[in-house]
Amino acid sequence: MCFSRYFYGMKKAGGNSRVLKDLLQTKCPNCGEANMFEYSTLHLGKFLKMYPRCPNCGYDFNPEPGFYFGAMYFSYAMNVALMVTAGVAFEVLVDPDELWKTFVSVFLPPLLLSPWIFRLSRAMMLYAFGSKRKKRS
């Protein structure tokens, strides 16, 4: 999944499972040690705030202006997948008798998970299309 690290020979010991773990934990795509975000996901006032560079290795988290606009495509894909999965699972498992219950089952999970989806989509964008530069000081 980590395209830039994979394609540019930045692969760490531990292979792709390590890369996937770093991505899911929103760690730096270069070193995998430091967090991309300054605050916890549960800090709802500041969960969006990112470091400009990796505190550990100096990797640039903002390769160009507007870089993270593309993250909305990752976010959209994850939200649609979540909505379809939740809606189908609810229909199959609960078989609701009223339409509003189906709407709640479809729209509530993305709403509750939106901070995680937002951060993960940014991490996916950086892992996929981030700078190939290993270090920048």
Binding region for Zn ion (CB under 5 A)? 28, 30-31, 54, 56-57, 59
CA-to-CA dists, residue 43 to 7, 59, 90, angstroms:
34, 24, 30
- State how far the Cα of 45 lies from the Cα of 59, in Å rounded to an integer: 25
Dist. CA 8–CA 131, nearest whole Å: 10
Reported as type and span, the H/E element at residue 84 is helix 71-93
Compare residues 56 and 62 and give the one whose CB is closer to Zn ion. 56
Residue 45, CA atoms < 13 Å, CB-side half-sphere: 0
CB of 106 to Zn ion, least distance (A): 38
**Minimum distance between the CB of residue 4 and Zn ion, rounded to whole angstroms?**
13
CB of 58 to Zn ion, least distance (A): 7
CB of 42 to Zn ion, least distance (A): 23
Select 8 or 107, whichever has its Cβ closest to Zn ion. Answer: 8
The residue among 57 and 82 lying less far from Zn ion, judged by its C-beta, is 57
* C-beta of 31 vs 78, nearer to Zn ion: 31
Distance linking the first and last C-alpha atoms of the chain: 26
What the block records as the tokens of 49 is 């705030």
Q: How far is the CB of 28 from Zn ion (least distance, A)?
A: 3
Identity of the residue, 49 or 135, whose beta carbon is nearer to Zn ion in the bound complex: 135
Token pair listed for 119: 């951060």
